[in-house]
């Protein structure tokens, strides 16, 4: 998370990232995709209290991370060029995520409402 009060891997404390570093990252054209069925807590899944505070599954964590980054960009007054989308029917499955990604890139325009 873009939180300089919490140590890595749950935050950015101790990484030496500046607000300018975050601003540069938020300006990039990042697309965050999540699987609509990626809600399992089976291994491999980090289930520490710190991780669970960010969401109880990967879908929740992705949404929480996206929102936290968007909020941080707003706080910094910098552009936020990230988008998010959902690959319908995919869980934590590389093949299905790749298939959904190609569909989004090749067949459909991607915007924040894709599959949401």
- Residue 2 falls inside a structural domain: no
Q: What is the pLDDT of residue 115?
A: 46
Strand pairing report for 83-87 and 31-35: parallel
The range of the structural domain enclosing residue 28 comes to: 19-106
CA distances in angstroms from 84 to 33, 58, 65, 104, listed in the order given: 6, 14, 11, 12
Percent of all residues in the chain with a pLDDT value above 90, rounded to a whole number:
79
Q: How many domains does the chain have?
A: 1
Check pLDDT > 50 for residue 101: yes
pLDDT band at 14 (very low <50, low <70, confident <90, very high): very high
Grade residue 16 by pLDDT with cuts at 50, 70 and 90: very high
CA dist., res. 34 & res. 60, Å (int): 10
pLDDT recorded at residue 42: 87
What pLDDT shows up at residue 111?
Answer: 52
Tell me the mean pLDDT in the region 16-33: 96
Mean pLDDT within 72-99 = 94
Q: What pLDDT does residue 82 have?
A: 96
In a domain? residue 99: yes
Determine, yes or no, domain membership for 52. Answer: yes
Tell whether 43 is covered by a domain: yes
Do 14 and 8 contact (CB within 8 A), yes or no? Answer: yes
Q: How confident is the model over 71-80, as a mean pLDDT?
A: 98
């Amino acid at each position: 998370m873009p939180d300089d009060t919490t140590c890595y891997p749950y935050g950015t404390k101790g990484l030496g990232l500046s607000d300018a570093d975050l601003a540069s990252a938020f300006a990039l054209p990042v697309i965050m995709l999540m699987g609509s069925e990626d809600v399992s807590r089976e291994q491999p899944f980090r289930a520490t209290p710190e991780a669970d505070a960010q969401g109880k599954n990967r879908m929740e964590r992705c949404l929480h991370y996206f929102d936290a980054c968007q909020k941080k960009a707003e706080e910094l007054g910098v552009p936020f060029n990230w988008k998010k989308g959902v690959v319908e029917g995919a869980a934590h499955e590389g093949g299905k995520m790749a298939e959904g990604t190609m569909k989004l890139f090749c067949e459909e325009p991607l915007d924040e409402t894709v599959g949401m």
